[in-house]
């Protein structure tokens, strides 16, 4: 009987923690990096934009080109690249060098997130891939709760280079632990036997599969709305609740804490009731973020922000488990296009948010996020084949049989 490989799942979660922390750390260290390398703060902001662009462009081709690499080896390679890039960033003499190290990391980023879900599913019993995914994605929430705030504090105290060096050391520990606890995971037969050119064509063509296309559309719409508002959560909190300094830090810490709780809780339902679980999360997000549009005061602002954080940060668990369910024989390829949708959503949302904020429409951002959450909710309700109301053991066994190449009638 297959059981949860908890040590391996834990290390995968720790690896996700490292990636999320490193990707967003420049936000907290923006003044220190700008001052240390004698560039404008606006230039440092390009580190995030260029990272997202490179990750989005490279994910599909690199995932296709690495289909034949054993999964346990490939996930370790992505972490090694992470460590090397972070170590190089620690000693970067110029801003250009720092940017190049970030781009190297971005190349591994897309592959890491594309294969993370399929690997996680192979470490869980049949029918419990969603629960295993929730366990791994706790690393994302922990990065928001502790990784970024701690890294920012270290950077302000000891310097930004030390903060980045700490992420490199944490990644190196993950590499060693992955080599120790992750079992041998060979490519699936249909991946191992297919030529690279065919893999690339199949990876691009997977977006034309109706359920995958619907999932990507849902991901894109929701993430654009979320990051349009979340990118400017600091001025929103200052405007709505007069929260800044320590108050803002406490709010962001609470945001991450509710995300941690919600990510864990959704794992109890995502394998059996994926549709209702996602519907509730989207409804909570729509109502809570809409509550930030008017200026209601400190307490309503805090409550709405915490609910928003908990709801949105649990949603990627639903998306990741859906990829595994709707494309059992093309999990890596489907995961890759979903990762691209997420990255485009991040960049697109930040751009839209910047345009609206620059035009003096800060209060419009929560309205936009809430409206797109409602549109997404309608699509989820309509897409029963992507997010069914209920799944039973027969559904999970059917998916596992399809993955193994056994004819299903």
- Give the tens place of pLDDT for each residue, 268-287: 888 888 999 999 999 999 99
Domain that residue 39 falls in? 1-187
**Residue 340 near residue 60 (C-beta atoms within 8 A):** yes
Instruction: Give the pLDDT of residue 202.
Output: 67
pLDDT reading at 32 higher than 70: yes
In a domain, residue 222? The reply is: yes
* Same domain assignment for residues 151 and 223: no
Please give the share of the chain, as a percent, with pLDDT higher than 70: 88
Between 79 and 300, the more confident residue is 79
In a domain, residue 196? The reply is: no
Instruction: Give the pLDDT of residue 281.
Output: 95
Write down which residue in 187, 216, 242 finishes a domain: 187
pLDDT reading at 396 higher than 50: no
**Residue 125 near residue 3 (C-beta atoms within 8 A):** yes
> Residue by residue, what is the 3-state secondary structure of 282-313?
HHHHHHHHHCCCCCCCHHHHHHHHHHHHHHHH
In a domain, residue 192? The reply is: no
Length of the chain measured in residues: 409
Rg of the chain over CA atoms, in angstroms? 20
Side-chain half-sphere CA neighbours of 180 within 13 A? 9
Count the Cβ atoms, other than its own, within 10 Å of residue 149.
17
* Same domain assignment for residues 165 and 313: no
* Same domain assignment for residues 315 and 222: yes
What gap in Å lies between CA 106 and CA 74, rounded to an integer?
15
* Same domain assignment for residues 146 and 262: no
* Same domain assignment for residues 165 and 267: no
pLDDT reading at 144 higher than 50: yes
Highest mean predicted confidence (pLDDT) among 132-141, 258-267, 277-286 = 277-286
* Same domain assignment for residues 227 and 372: yes
Kindly report which listed range (69-73, 280-284, 355-359, 397-401) carries the lowest average pLDDT score: 397-401
CA 375 vs CA 99, 219, 220, 388: distances in Å? 36, 11, 11, 18
- Interval 234-245: pLDDT, tens: 788 777 667 766
Reported pTM: 0.80
* Same domain assignment for residues 141 and 217: no
Instruction: Give the pLDDT of residue 409.
Output: 44
Domain count along the chain: 2
Instruction: Give the pLDDT of residue 280.
Output: 95
* Same domain assignment for residues 398 and 287: yes
Q: Per-residue pLDDT averaged across 47-75, rounded?
A: 86
The gap from C-alpha 62 to its chain's centroid, in whole angstroms, comes to: 18
Between 230 and 88, the more confident residue is 88
Write down which residue in 187, 221, 250 finishes a domain: 187
Q: Long-range CB contacts (< 8 A, 24+ apart) of 38-47?
A: 39/95, 43/95, 44/95, 46/99, 47/98, 47/99, 47/102
* Same domain assignment for residues 182 and 209: no
Count the Cβ atoms, other than its own, within 10 Å of residue 84.
17
What gap in Å lies between CA 385 and CA 402, rounded to an integer?
16
Instruction: Give the pLDDT of residue 17.
Output: 94
Look at residues 160, 405, 369 and name the one whose alpha carbon lies nearest to residue 285. Answer: 369
Please give the share of the chain, as a percent, with pLDDT higher than 90: 33
CATH number at residue 385: 1.20.1250.20
Under the banding of pLDDT at 50, 70 and 90, the label for residue 63 is: confident
* Same domain assignment for residues 253 and 401: yes
**Residue 131 near residue 124 (C-beta atoms within 8 A):** yes
- The two tokens of residue 338 are 């979903």
Highest mean predicted confidence (pLDDT) among 39-43, 226-230, 239-243, 294-298 = 226-230
What gap in Å lies between CA 145 and CA 256, rounded to an integer?
4
- The two tokens of residue 282 are 């989207």
Identify the residue whose tokens are 């629960």. Answer: 131
In a domain, residue 35? The reply is: yes
- Interval 159-203: pLDDT, tens: 899 999 999 999 999 999 999 999 998 876 655 555 556 666 766
* Same domain assignment for residues 277 and 353: yes
Write down which residue in 187, 218, 233 finishes a domain: 187
In a domain, residue 254? The reply is: yes
The distance between the two most distant Cα atoms of the chain, rounded to a whole number of Å, is: 65
In a domain, residue 200? The reply is: no
**Residue 68 near residue 191 (C-beta atoms within 8 A):** yes
Q: Is 305 exposed, middle or buried (0-12, 13-18, 19+ CB in 10 A)?
A: buried
In a domain, residue 317? The reply is: yes
* Same domain assignment for residues 294 and 176: no
pLDDT reading at 393 higher than 50: no
Q: Per-residue pLDDT averaged across 208-236, rounded?
A: 89
Instruction: Give the pLDDT of residue 124.
Output: 85
Q: Per-residue pLDDT averaged across 377-406, rounded?
A: 69
Q: Per-residue pLDDT averaged across 123-130, rounded?
A: 81
Buried b (16+ CB within 10 A) or exposed e, 366-390: bbbbbebbbbbbebbeebeebbbee
Instruction: Give the pLDDT of residue 394.
Output: 43
In a domain, residue 194? The reply is: no
Look at residues 109, 152, 354 and name the one whose alpha carbon lies nearest to residue 252. Answer: 152
Under the banding of pLDDT at 50, 70 and 90, the label for residue 407 is: very low
Between 262 and 244, the more confident residue is 262
Q: Per-residue pLDDT averaged across 59-69, rounded?
A: 85
């Amino acid at each position: 009987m297959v059981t949860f490989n908890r040590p391996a799942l834990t290390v995968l979660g720790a690896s996700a923690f490292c990636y999320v922390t490193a990707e967003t750390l420049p936000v907290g260290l923006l003044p220190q990096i700008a001052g240390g390398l004698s560039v404008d703060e606006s230039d440092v902001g390009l580190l995030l934009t260029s990272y997202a662009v490179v990750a989005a462009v490279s994910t599909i081709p690199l995932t296709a080109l690495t289909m034949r690499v054993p999964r346990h080896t490939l996930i370790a390679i992505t972490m090694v690249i992470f460590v090397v890039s972070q170590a190089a960033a620690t000693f970067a003499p110029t801003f250009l060098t720092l940017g190049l190290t970030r781009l190297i990391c971005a190349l591994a980023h897309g592959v890491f997130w594309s294969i993370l879900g399929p690997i996680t599913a192979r470490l869980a019993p049949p029918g419990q891939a969603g629960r295993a995914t929730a366990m791994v994605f706790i690393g994302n929430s922990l990065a928001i709760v502790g990784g970024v705030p701690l890294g920012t504090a270290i950077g302000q105290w000891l310097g930004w280079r030390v903060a980045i060096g700490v992420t490199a050391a944490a990644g190196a520990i993950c590499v060693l632990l992955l080599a120790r606890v992750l079992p041998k995971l060979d490519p699936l037969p249909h991946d191992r036997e297919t030529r690279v050119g065919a893999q690339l064509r199949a990876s691009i063509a997977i977006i034309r599969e109706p359920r995958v296309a619907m999932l990507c559309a849902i991901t894109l719409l929701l993430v654009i709305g979320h990051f349009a508002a979340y990118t400017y959560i600091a001025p929103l909190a200052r405007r709505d609740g007069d929260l800044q300094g320590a108050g803002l830090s406490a709010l962001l810490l609470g945001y991450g804490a509710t995300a941690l709780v919600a990510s864990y809780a959704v794992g109890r339902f995502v394998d059996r009731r994926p549709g209702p679980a996602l519907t509730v999360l989207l409804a909570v997000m729509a109502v809570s973020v809409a509550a930030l549009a008017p200026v209601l005061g400190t307490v309503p602002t805090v409550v709405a922000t915490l609910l928003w954080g908990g709801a949105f940060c649990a949603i990627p668990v639903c998306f990741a488990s859906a990829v595994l369910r709707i494309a059992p024989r093309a999990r890596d390829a489907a995961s890759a296009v979903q990762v691209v949708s997420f990255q485009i959503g991040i960049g697109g949302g930040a751009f839209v948010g910047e345009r609206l904020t620059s035009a003096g429409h800060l209060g419009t951002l929560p309205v936009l996020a809430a409206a797109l959450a409602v549109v997404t909710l309608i699509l989820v309700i309509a897409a029963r084949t992507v997010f069914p109301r209920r799944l039973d053991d027969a559904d999970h066994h059917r998916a596992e049989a399809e993955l193994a190449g056994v004819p299903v009638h």
